[in-house]
Structure 1
Amino acid sequence: MGGVTDIERALIVAAHPDDIDFSSAGTIATWTDAGVAVSYCIVTDGDAGGFDENVPRSEIPGIRQAEQRKAAAVLGVTDIDFLGYPDGRLTVSLELRRDISRVIRRVRPDRIVVPSPFRDLKSMYGSHPDHIATGEAAMCAIYPDARNPYAHPELAAEGFAAHAVPETWVSSANDTADHYVDITDTFDRKVAALREHVSQTEHMTDLAEMLGKWSGSQATAAGFEPGRLAEGYLVLDTR
């Protein structure tokens, strides 16, 4: 488990536009470079985000979707599902479990990446309630929903057959990671992808430096040689 060439399709599930790029952009670039087909499932449109008070709230979802598409293109990703749930009000509902299950059954990934379903008391920013709800709903979709042909019968009626995801990666920024991806060679694309989220990062003059510190600390935790950069995950066998 954990290799690149042993998979054909990967699905990344996240709560908001830009979450994927902060947590996994370097990893995704290594996968697409190796020929892996990567798809995104974004649960909300990030309609509660943004810093420009002159932009009407009604325009934010469209802006953030467009930014996410541009960021994804930097990494070689074009297949994106936006589920359209309200930003800041996510709960682990049967409807959310069903909608993530639908994407899993459509994409039929060999590997899925999800946020942690647990609050990290060492990281307030990494424990946004939407992230936790997305992580838990995604784990419920992975098991038992997406693999059970009798769960959410409307999905079968829509033509989406059951699918068991063999491998689940949980994004992990602290001491729970047990697998690390070296992103030294794709770090510049991670920064470039995040710069496409103009409404979220335009004001961040120290973005590359901040990301470098995060990725450097992950590489240190991984035991990589000095100067390397990494993204960390907890890898689960979910066959």
Structure 2
Amino acid sequence: MKLECDVIRDLLPLYAEKLASPASSALVEQHLAECEACRAELEQMEKPVPVQPEPQPDAPLRNIRKTLQKKSIRIAAAAVLAVLCAFGLVFWMGGAKTPVTAEQAQIWTYNKKENEANLCVLEVQGENVRLELEGSFNWGKPSVTVRAVRYTFPHIHAALEGLLGTSASDTSIAVSGTQLLTVQCADETRYYRDGQQVDRYIAGENPDGTPDYAYGTEQEYGHDYEKG
């Protein structure tokens, strides 16, 4: 049987390719009907052979180029992010402000008459000190609040001002003589009206339980009200 299988397997390639003679084909088919091992051999031959792509001579170079391109993209993205962070830090430092004390602000007030209106003018003369208005200014408001601050990094702020063509916040503010001017400093809050500093007194209590404040000089309120 082994000899017969060896002969048949020699014929199988010709049989599979339809090149065997009719007599050889009949002999192979007769044997295949009885031999499972040779049938399996024929089935293996008839399976399609996978086509392997021909190796490309420049494939390693293409892989290297792809790797370099990916690294270049990552490096460029990291550089752009670093530049944006640097710009953000510079602009933050240029606008960063620090509250100053009343002594550092060197506050001065005086009366000024302009267009028949009595104005109370407040100035700060401390080095690099500015007045920052809280909210929007309106002549009809009963009170105006400002903060005395200085730029934390004055040199960076000055450089940004020169670059962007902007101006610093004011070192003075003018309000109506009837408006209460509140100046918030790092160590205290001062109140001014009609060119002079006034105190805050507790005149009573509002319906909601909060203090009702009055503002004036000690001669006006000092004996009748508790200072608040």
The verdict on a shared fold, with TM-score over 0.5 as the criterion, is: no
TM-score tier after normalising by the smaller chain length? under 0.3
Larger RCO (alpha carbons 8 Å, 6+ apart): 1
